Structures are given as structure tokens and as C-alpha cells.
Structure 1
């Protein structure tokens, strides 16, 4: 895909949704960190249902540690892999207290050193909580980037690196929101809704649907 097409795609996505937001519900960087950690192999809807009950009770590292692993499990047991996630959230909360003054660090290396936090989670936190121009590539973004030929790559890291190169600076803060929402609701996995797509004429996917 050429530069002109990419720019037009980004412009249309921006015009359609000028101020995109994560669909995870949070009010602080710590709440976001917990929500994103819980969202691995789970839906945002499912995570939000759990955190609506959890956060009024425990939304700080100290409160999570006081709640304990077993107490935390009671709030997140509807989420997949809740046992390991409860352990990770409890451990990362203690680390934030011990090493970071109970604050979520604005540092990729420090974030990725936390239990249950990988590159994608770190990217989401840096982007959504602190406004960094990071691009978190999940399955939706990986699919949309390859299917449209906007930024092709054989794995999520390759797609992230390609997006970093081809997305102009002015679009970088919001691009992962636009692509994830596009993949979640329009360019869906089994049958993309090409007839409802605002970038259909620019997309280079050959097997378009009606």
C-alpha cells in the first residue's frame, strides 16, 4: 500500500472518530494497568463487569494487597485465567508499592518487569494513561493491518514495527484505537462488513464481502 492511501485511511478514521478512547473503564493509570492485565484472552465487556465491582472496593496498590489474592479472585472469577491474573495483579501491586512509590511508572522497561505485563500491555498503558505515541498490536490490529495491506507483518512485533514506520506522527497517539475498533466492529475475523466500511475503496483485501 502506498503512502497516499495510508494517509487517506488515517484521515477518514480520524474524521469518523476524532477522540477515540479505550473501551476498558478506568479513572487512574493504576486502574488501567489492572484492567489491561485482566483483559488478556478476555473481552473488554467481561473485564468491565468485574472491575465495576472491584474498583469501588480496591483501586490502589495498597487496597489490592490488603484484599489478598483470594479476595481478589472473588471479584475477577468470571474472567478467564483468573487464578494466574489474581496472582499477577497482587504481585505487581506490591512491586509498585516497594519500588515505585505506589505509582505506575512511565517507563516501558519498568512496566514490562511487572508480573503479567508484556509489551502490548505496556504500550496500552503508556498510550492511554500517559499519551505516549505507542502502538499496541493485538489480534484485531494484526488482522486489519495485514488484511488491508496497510502494514503487513508475520507477527505482532513485525506489524508494530511497520506501523511505527508508516504512520505519521500526527496520527500515532490514536491509531491503535482506530484500528482496534475497526477490527472489532467492521473488519471482523470471520466475515468483514465491507459494505459498511468507510475505507473499503482504499483497502487492498481481494475477497471483499457485500
Structure 2
């Protein structure tokens, strides 16, 4: 994506070189850490299994809606074994408010069956094993490994991360896989897990999609604001 210099904040230190991007990424990560020192996953869960289910259900749906639905689901099916033994129509009724309810019900039931039959009811702790499960892609696997087990397998790229990391100048892509690769290249591995949580929180609090509140943002001096209209002086 071409950079319009008039859209880049003065003094942000933005540069296209890899070394400078790494320095820039570290500044952004430190700034976000000051804003959100102890970020938490927005999906409410009590176990790795529940987190996996909730993350699958969150596709094309808000976390708030998922959190409103999963208590009923988890009360009836608290383990992989119980969900694997469920009836499709019963699960569909519960997850109906989340959209794509038939596909989501099918995916979490098949996932639970695979967990029960292939992993003795335990959630796998490798990316390869997780993405082999029904309904589980790389993003979902990264969420579970990072949040449930503290394993930095990659960087979670959701809509907030996709949008804001372009504004930050950490990527020029709209493709989640390329964005993740770009972020893994410029961020220290120790930042991979919390960085996404912090960007999501920042996107909800200040860097909102419809109208980013840049003048209120503590990151303004280091944010190149790529793709945004120049601030009115």
C-alpha cells in the first residue's frame, strides 16, 4: 500500500527498513503495554476446552454475543466427552444466536469427538495437532496456545489487529496470514501473545474503526496513522 506522507504523523519515526520497523514495533508494543499492562482474553472461559469452543464460535460474531451464549452451552456440555455425545439439534438451539449455527454446532461437536477419541479428552498443545481438529484454523489455535498454555505459536490476527497494524505501519497487507507473518518478523517472540490482546483493547477503547480518537491517544507521537486523514491543526 502506498504511503501518503501527509498521512504520517510528524515525529513518528516511521521507516520502511526492517531494522527501523523492528524498533518501531517495539515502541508500539511498549506503548500498548503501558496502556494495558495485564491484558486478558475477552472470551470468558474456565478451561482450555471452553476457550477452544468459544473461539470457534466467535467466527464472524462479537465476543459479547459469544459470552452471552456459552454459559448455557458449558453448563450442559462442560467437557469434550459430553459435547461429543450431544445431539446436533440440541447444540444448534443453543448457538443459534451466533449465526451460522448449523456449521458452528457441527464444528464444535466434531472437534469434541476428535478430542475425545484422538487426545483422551485433553486439548493438544501443538499448532499442528490443533489445526488438524474440525473447525480449528491457525487463528483459533494461536488463541488457545497463547491464552490457555502461554505458548507463543504466532500472532492472533482479528479485525482489530488487521486494521490497526496497518495504521501502525507494521504491515501493508489485508491478508491475515501475511499480516501474522509480518508481525512475527518485527515483534519479539515474547510479545506475540499479549500484543494482540492489547491491540484489540486499544481498538475498542481509542482506535475505534468508525472514528479513531487520535488526539486522545497516547501513541499519537509514534503512530504514523497510515491510511487516515491528516489531523486538523
State if a TM-score over 0.5 links the two structures. yes
- Map 1:33-44 → 2, pairs under 5 A: 33-44=52-63
Instruction: Tell me how far 1:171 sits from its aligned partner.
Output: 2.0
Corresponding residue to 1:28 among 31, 47, 66: 47
Q: Separation in 2 of the partners of 1:6 and 1:110?
A: 30
State the superposition RMSD in angstroms.
Answer: 1.6
Contact 2:173 2:179 in 1 (8 A): yes
Q: Which residue of 1 aligns with 2:135?
A: 116
SS class of match (1:19): coil
Instruction: Tell me how far 1:198 sits from its aligned partner.
Output: 1.8
Q: Which residue of 2 aligns with 1:50?
A: 69
Q: Which residue of 1 aligns with 2:124?
A: 105
List alignment gaps of at least 5 residues for structure 1.
none
Q: Who wins on radius of gyration, i.e. which is larger?
A: 2
List alignment gaps of at least 5 residues for structure 2.
1-13, 15-19
Contact 1:105 1:111 in 2 (8 A): yes
Corresponding residue to 1:191 among 211, 216, 220: 211
Instruction: Tell me how far 1:209 sits from its aligned partner.
Output: 5.4
Contact 2:164 2:199 in 1 (8 A): yes
Cα offsets for 1:25-72 (capped at 9, x unmatched)? 001000000000000000000000000111122121111123321111
Q: 1:128 to 1:209 in 2, by over 3 A?
A: farther
Q: Separation in 2 of the partners of 1:172 and 1:190?
A: 26
Cα offsets for 1:76-106 (capped at 9, x unmatched)? 1111111110011011111111101111101
Contact 2:125 2:145 in 1 (8 A): yes
TM-score, normalised relative to structure 2: 0.85
Q: Separation in 1 of the partners of 2:216 and 2:74?
A: 37
The alignment covers a number of residue pairs equal to 210
SS class of match (1:77): helix
Contact 1:194 1:208 in 2 (8 A): no
Instruction: Tell me how far 1:152 sits from its aligned partner.
Output: 3.0
Contact 1:191 1:209 in 2 (8 A): no
Q: 1:208 to 1:196 in 2, by over 3 A?
A: farther
Corresponding residue to 1:181 among 197, 201, 205: 201
Q: Separation in 1 of the partners of 2:107 and 2:98?
A: 14
Moved more, 194-203 or 147-156: 147-156
Q: Separation in 1 of the partners of 2:155 and 2:60?
A: 19
Q: Which residue of 1 aligns with 2:148?
A: 129
